[in-house]
Structure 1
Amino acid sequence: MFNKIKDNYKKIISLALVLMLSLGIVGCSSDNGSKGSNQDIDKVFKIGLTQYAPHPSLDNIREGFIQGLKEEGFEEGKNIELDITNADGKGENTAMIAQNYVAKKYDLITAIATPSAMAAQAAADGKNIPVLFSAVSDPVSAKLVESLEVTNRGATGTSDALPLEKQMQMIRAFLPEAKKIGILYTTNEVNSQSHLETFKALAPQYGFEIVAIGVNTPSDIPLAVDTLLAQVDCVNNFTDNNVVNNLAILIEKAKEKKIPVFGSEEEQVRNGCIASESIDYVELGRETAKMAAAILKGSPVDTLPVKVISESKPVANKEVMEALGIELPEAYEESIEYLK
């Protein structure tokens, strides 16, 4: 009798264990499947996209970024929501925009140009919101990252390293007799300061002297342009946001004095600069989107090194060349692209 009860007890225990294990396995399978489904299908990521100023090169980055996201499988109305805000070239706006994105707890903040990137990083510090930047020529000097390889500050992105030596070679080829290159730059733009120092270091190798005038606000530009043009043979323009946003003033005054202005990218040449060694800013936006996709798919922002885009092509404005009576140098006959 005792043995029979003992056998029945063992059977009950065995059945109970089997039932518990079965439920546990089913429960785990169901939970994992549900989480995977939510992350892969149901999740709608919210991205704040802040742009420092409304000028063509930054516009091209924005459009390239949106195109690139779509190519990576992230499309507005499906699995992402984009909140795009322009700071209109005003520093105080960059901070308010970034703080608003942080308050809304967005999944990612993307910042186009250095001032917007610096504001985004400051606002997101300690908030566990990744910051992705684009068109930051010197992210180390801007203190956005510790180094290009090891970012370690909650931000990473793409850098537009201007081909400054190629640019100086172009100026020398177009203007063999020129001696003084004028530079107009904004004193609080880290990128411009970095570019200026590099340009000054290169100048003696090509027989140039650099005349630089700094400005603080857009209202400083007209007088600064007049002062600069009185001292130089040509002007070279960087991707200085303040100056580019007011490029028409420089172009118009230089045109009156028949002084050529060299740009730093295609849109500046389309808008009246004579020529440039240009980076493709739409492509820069696409490369930034690839990094955004990696972050949204789970890669920690500090594991992604900064991607430097430095490949360039020579472009020129034929109408401006003809107006100034400048011939295309032989060295560029095979490679130049004329822009309309």
Structure 2
Amino acid sequence: MKRWLQVIGIIVVSMIFLAACGTDSQGDGKTYKVGVSQFVEHPSLDRAYEGFQAALKDKGLKVDYDFQSAQGDQNNVKPIADNFVADGVDLIFGNATPSAMGALQATNDIPIVFTSVTDAVGAGLVKSMDEPGENITGVVDLHPDAIKETVLFIDKYFNSAAVGLIYNAGEQNSIAQIDAVKEAAEGTSLSFVERTVANSAEVQQAATTIVGDADVLYIVTDNTVVSALDSVVGVANDQKLPMFVGEPDSLEKGGFATYGIDYYTIGYRTGEMAVEILKDGKKTADIPVENPQEIQLYINKEAAEAQGVEWNDEWDDMAKYVE
């Protein structure tokens, strides 16, 4: 009889163990629905989305993602968010300022987390960094010193340069950065030449017309321009114009240098916020908006050569190199 009881006990324990293995780390087996609204597909935003997904996976959440790209069209962001609301998603991930704005306009109830946003307060996404709002929070993509350090680098090594700026004046994200560039340049030897665009089809013409007026280019993290960055790189290489960019991913496409961040890391941190909301029941109002934790000088040596940059040995001790 004892032997049979032992056998039965082993079977029961085994069944409990197998049941536990078949359940996710939450213990409820729930699969969450997450709507992903991304303004356009380009390397930086794609990296942020990869980081976001990785964080949820690492925390053991089961997730069905509904990924929707606005293809760089402001008119698409609100309908995308409206569809997420109609589908009853558990959370919306807004990747870039227009997408986050569209989500906020669509719902006051569904929690929203965002990243790839430069000025969350200025854009009207949140009340303040410390007190974001009832259903939205996230991680901005601009380290407080990134633009300043890039501008000072240009001033030091390209003294008295006319800096060419190409951006979409309809993007709040871009206006905030351009204002920051000009503020950082106060007291330096730099001057500015500007071209604005309304869509990606206008980017190449803007880059072509700035030739002759600019000594270097500085392409901030403007979604419209970055989505057509190849056309700017072509002009920069042909005309030997050193091209500074707003983030490391644009270096891989042919930019020369930046003080920037890794978009994967801010996407990952945003994903951790999503876990706090979905799994732990935390409210967005209790999760302050965050800045990136660190910046680094990145340089693409091949782009430097293609754009006629005179190499300075000091950079070897300062920079990480990107191919």
Smaller-chain TM-score range?
0.7 to 0.9
The 5-angstrom pairing of residues 235-314 of structure 1 reads 235-296=217-278, 297-314=280-297
User: Are the counterparts in 1 of residues 85 and 110 from structure 2 also a CA contact under 8 Å?
Assistant: yes
User: Are the counterparts in 2 of residues 53 and 245 from structure 1 also a CA contact under 8 Å?
Assistant: yes
The aligned counterpart of 2:299 is 316
The aligned counterpart of 2:90 is 107
Secondary structure of the equivalent of 2:187? helix
Q: CA deviation digits over 1:53-104, x for unaligned, max 9? A: 1100000001111111112222xxxx22111111111112211111100001
Quote the Cα distance in structure 2 between the aligned partners of 1:50 and 1:86: 6
Quote the Cα distance in structure 1 between the aligned partners of 2:283 and 2:252: 39
Task: Decide which moves more: 292-301 or 220-229.
Answer: 220-229
The aligned counterpart of 1:53 is 40
The aligned counterpart of 2:177 is 195
In the alignment, does 2:131 pair up with 1:144? Answer: no
Q: CA deviation digits over 1:152-183, x for unaligned, max 9? A: 2521100011411111122234423x421011
User: Are the counterparts in 1 of residues 163 and 218 from structure 2 also a CA contact under 8 Å?
Assistant: yes
The aligned counterpart of 2:29 is 42
- 1:209 partner amino acid: S
Secondary structure of the equivalent of 1:309? coil
1:40 deviation in Å?
4.1
Instruction: Please tell me the root mean square deviation across aligned C-alpha atoms, in Å.
Output: 1.8
Runs of 4+ in structure 1 off by over 6 angstroms are: none
Quote the Cα distance in structure 1 between the aligned partners of 2:188 and 2:261: 22
Unaligned runs of 5+ in 1: 1-36
Secondary structure of the equivalent of 2:185? helix
The aligned counterpart of 1:335 is 318
1:202 deviation in Å?
1.8
Unaligned runs of 5+ in 2: 1-23
Identity of aligned residues (%): 32
Secondary structure of the equivalent of 1:210? strand
Quote the Cα distance in structure 1 between the aligned partners of 2:277 and 2:99: 19
Structure number with larger C-alpha Rg: 1
Quote the Cα distance in structure 2 between the aligned partners of 1:181 and 1:203: 10
The aligned counterpart of 2:103 is 120
Distance 1:72 1:215, change over 3 A: same
- 1:104 partner amino acid: D
Quote the Cα distance in structure 1 between the aligned partners of 2:173 and 2:293: 15
Quote the Cα distance in structure 1 between the aligned partners of 2:29 and 2:244: 49
The 5-angstrom pairing of residues 125-204 of structure 1 reads 125=108, 128-162=109-143, 163-176=146-159, 178-204=160-186
User: Are the counterparts in 2 of residues 174 and 327 from structure 1 also a CA contact under 8 Å?
Assistant: no
Secondary structure of the equivalent of 2:118? coil
1:333 deviation in Å?
2.1
1:324 deviation in Å?
3.4
Q: TM-score, normalised by structure 2?
A: 0.87
- 1:80 partner amino acid: V
Secondary structure of the equivalent of 1:142? coil
Quote the Cα distance in structure 1 between the aligned partners of 2:80 and 2:161: 44
Aligned residues: 297
Secondary structure of the equivalent of 1:321? helix
Quote the Cα distance in structure 2 between the aligned partners of 1:306 and 1:40: 29
User: Are the counterparts in 2 of residues 161 and 310 from structure 1 also a CA contact under 8 Å?
Assistant: no
Question: Which has the larger helix fraction?
Answer: 1
Secondary structure of the equivalent of 2:272? helix
Secondary structure of the equivalent of 2:150? helix
User: Are the counterparts in 2 of residues 146 and 153 from structure 1 also a CA contact under 8 Å?
Assistant: no
